[in-house]
Amino acid sequence: MDRLSALRLFVRAVESGSFSRAGRDAGLSQSAASRSIAALEADLGARLLMRTTRRLSVTEAGQRVYEQAQRLLEEDAALVEAAAGADRVDAFLKAWPRLRLDIAATDARIDAVAEGVDLILRLGPLTDSSLTGRRLGTYERWLVASPAVVQALDGEAPLEDRLNGRCVVFSGSTLGQKWRLTGPAGVVEMEPSGTLSAAAGAVVLSLAVQGAGVALMPSFAVARDIADGRLVRVAPDWSGPPTPVAALWTHRDLPRKARLFLDHLTPRLRLDER
């Protein structure tokens, strides 16, 4: 289980006061839920919950993690909304009211067969040949920051000098380890540097909005924040290379319910070059 899923399970355990209830909501047994949270505690190096025969109690460290996890899950939900669009999902459910959608977002690669996932939307290069798929299009990656950060940057300096030490880095994949940008002066490749990095795209986005630095984000994920003035494009003549978006599924033929959703969503993603 990836860390985001483990945090979601932990939050549910705190709110329900029960491993069994939290596990049931996640489709896990009580013992599996307990092991997952124990692994999270080991990963974080802190005891989060005190277990007794009758109830769970939250430790001081657990309370801090719980509060941070709530914000992270809210940001994760916001990123899902930015990608799919709540209005697009709502329109689909109104058209097909008997269908049920369960949408999850994670930066980790998952076992779609074991998780029982009908449809995956994957950003970036495809490496899993066991899945059937279809390329939907591409998106650009834009440099973005809060208005205050943009105002403090030296707009006359070379791009690398402007960004040096001021980046919020996505550490969840190799995609974020080196920035390749194309602009008026050609191609610039650089290793982004700064004091903050995060393995979840939702966290990188939140940090950029809060003024932590410059992030390189998918264009579709930041369009709303730019429109609302929370983010501004840095060096708008520069962007990352087009990145593919693909739909993947485990069956030879995509289940009809998943095909209906994909057919509804694809034209609304507004991706470039199919």
Q: Please report which confidence band the pLDDT of residue 211 belongs to, taking 50, 70 and 90 as the band edges.
A: very high
**Angle at the Cα of 179 (from 197 to 189), degrees rounded to 5?**
140
Q: Is 70 exceeded by the pLDDT of residue 143?
A: yes
User: Under DSSP, is residue 9 helix (H, G, I), strand (E, B) or coil?
Assistant: helix
Per-residue pLDDT tens over the stretch 20-55: 888 887 778 888 888 889 999 998 899 999 987 677
Please provide the average confidence, as pLDDT, over all residues in the chain: 82
Q: Stretch 241-261: mean pLDDT, rounded?
A: 85
The rounded percent of the chain whose pLDDT value lies above 90 is: 22
More confident of the two residues 177 and 38: 38
pTM of model > 0.75? no
Q: Is 70 exceeded by the pLDDT of residue 173?
A: no
The rounded percent of the chain whose pLDDT value lies above 70 is: 83
Alpha carbon of residue 180 to chain centroid: 21
Q: From residue 10, how far is each of 34, 66, 146, 150, 198 by CA, in Å?
A: 9, 8, 31, 37, 20
Exposure letters 227-256 (e unless 16+ CB within 10 A, then b)? eeebbbbbbeebbbebbbbbbbbbeeebee
What local confidence, expressed as pLDDT, does residue 274 receive? 46
- The fold for domain 3-84 equals Arc Repressor Mutant, subunit A (1.10.10)
Q: Which amino acid is at 117?
A: V
What local confidence, expressed as pLDDT, does residue 25 receive? 75
The span from the CA of 73 to the CA of 105, in Å, is: 10
Per-residue pLDDT tens over the stretch 115-140: 778 888 877 766 656 778 888 888 88
Question: Cβ of 132: how many Cβ atoms within 10 Å?
Answer: 13
**Angle at the Cα of 214 (from 212 to 220), degrees rounded to 5?**
110
The span from the CA of 221 to the CA of 224, in Å, is: 7
More confident of the two residues 149 and 90: 149
What local confidence, expressed as pLDDT, does residue 97 receive? 85
Q: Please report which confidence band the pLDDT of residue 110 belongs to, taking 50, 70 and 90 as the band edges.
A: low
User: Under DSSP, is residue 199 helix (H, G, I), strand (E, B) or coil?
Assistant: coil
What local confidence, expressed as pLDDT, does residue 61 receive? 92
Question: Cβ of 120: how many Cβ atoms within 10 Å?
Answer: 19
The span from the CA of 28 to the CA of 95, in Å, is: 32
Q: Which CATH code of 3.30.750.24, 3.40.30.10, 3.40.190.290, 3.30.830.10 fits the domain covering 106-274? A: 3.40.190.290
Which residues belong to CATH 3.40.190.290 in the chain? Answer: 106-274
Question: CA torsion sign, 51 to 55 to 56 to 58?
Answer: negative
Which residues belong to CATH 1.10.10.10 in the chain? Answer: 3-84
